[in-house]
Chains A and B, each alone.
Chain A
């Protein structure tokens, strides 16, 4: 029931783009994205609600494909500060589960 994230880990050079995917086996009502830097608390990034909307701020955006029951997080022109573990959280009916996370490392 927990969503599956891919890739599990990715290494980027500063300025490169990345996509992180989150897939569910159940119909989704909403998808949430969080980022956790090593030794710190997870920080909320955005919520996407059913309806296929796309959201974003700065150079981080996300899409939600209701039919495919998946969401993608897009990081463009990555910065060193983007490094961390990205978690999706999925709401299906009255259940909510976090994914296993994607470790993203941006190097100079």
Chain B
């Protein structure tokens, strides 16, 4: 595997379910990011991890819970989501811990909350 991979690619879940999104980067980068991409809206940064420590949390509701067990893996745990949380969730990585570094994105997980 090369680059940034995400699983699953598609996910449908009910509002009472608990699920997790997984991201893995094979680039040796130090920072990883979660973004939310909704139609007609700019990419919204959710979380930033640098060297496995969370460095930024952009006022994201607690029903989204990130986890970064090592510099190559990033998870987004989901529970009691709302229909408005339906979106494409993108993971990215970069060499440095600022978005101003070149970011490499995964293909995303298309999430639908019913």
- Secondary structure at chain A's binding surface: helix, strand, loop or mixed? strand
Asked whether B42 lies within 8 Å of A32 as measured between CB atoms, the reply is no
- Secondary structure at chain B's binding surface: helix, strand, loop or mixed? loop
A25-70 contacts to B (CB < 8 Å): 29-30, 32, 34, 39-44, 47
Q: How many residues of B contact A (CB 8 A)?
A: 17
State which of B40, B41, B90 has its C-beta within 8 Å of the C-beta of A42: B90
Q: Does B103 contact A (CB under 8 A)?
A: yes
Expressed in whole angstroms, the Cα–Cα distance for A87 and B37 within the complex equals: 12
Asked whether A99 lies within 8 Å of B102 as measured between CB atoms, the reply is no
| Residues of B participating in the A interface, judged by any CB pair closer than 8 Å | 4, 40-43, 45, 90, 98-100, 102-108
| Residues of A participating in the B interface, judged by any CB pair closer than 8 Å | 2, 29-30, 32, 34, 39-44, 47, 87, 89, 91, 94, 96-101
